[in-house]
Amino acid sequence: MTKVLDDLGCLEGELSILLTDDEHIAELNNRYRGKEGPTNVLAFPMSESNAGMLGDIVISLDTARREADACEEPLPLTVFRLLIHGLLHLIGYDHETSEEEAARMEEAQERLLARVDPGT
């Protein structure tokens, strides 16, 4: 993951990662996004006043496991994909703003995922 953080220029920032279940992430999704049900990943960027703090990433292992099974990929690779997705959100990417931004985020995600060895 250090290669990903280095690529993004984020080696000095602090990052919190929570691996949880569908029930807990559904509560967070409802509380902070007003959306019902679980999601795969949530990202909570820190405000600019918290210099050096990137933010928090929450990943549902239940959802990640279902996605890994559906894509026929190893669970660690799916978790890394979600972690990278959340990290991109923390640094300002937002696939929901436009198709162009979604494509830019997807390209960055795949480029960064190629730098990760999920076996480590």
What's the pTM value of the predicted model, to 2 decimals? Answer: 0.87
Q: Which pLDDT value is given to residue 119?
A: 65
Give the tens place of pLDDT for each residue, 8-18.
Answer: 877 777 889 99
Q: Which pLDDT value is given to residue 12?
A: 75
Give the tens place of pLDDT for each residue, 22-48.
Answer: 999 999 999 999 999 999 999 999 866
CA dihedral of 41, 69, 38, 60, whole degrees rounded to 10: -50
CB 54 within 8 A of CB 46: yes
Q: Give the domains, in start order, of the chain with CATH numbers.
A: 2-113 (3.40.390.30)
- CA 101 vs. chain centroid, Å, equals 16
Angle at CA of residue 80, ends 79 and 86, nearest 5°: 90
Q: Which pLDDT value is given to residue 107?
A: 93
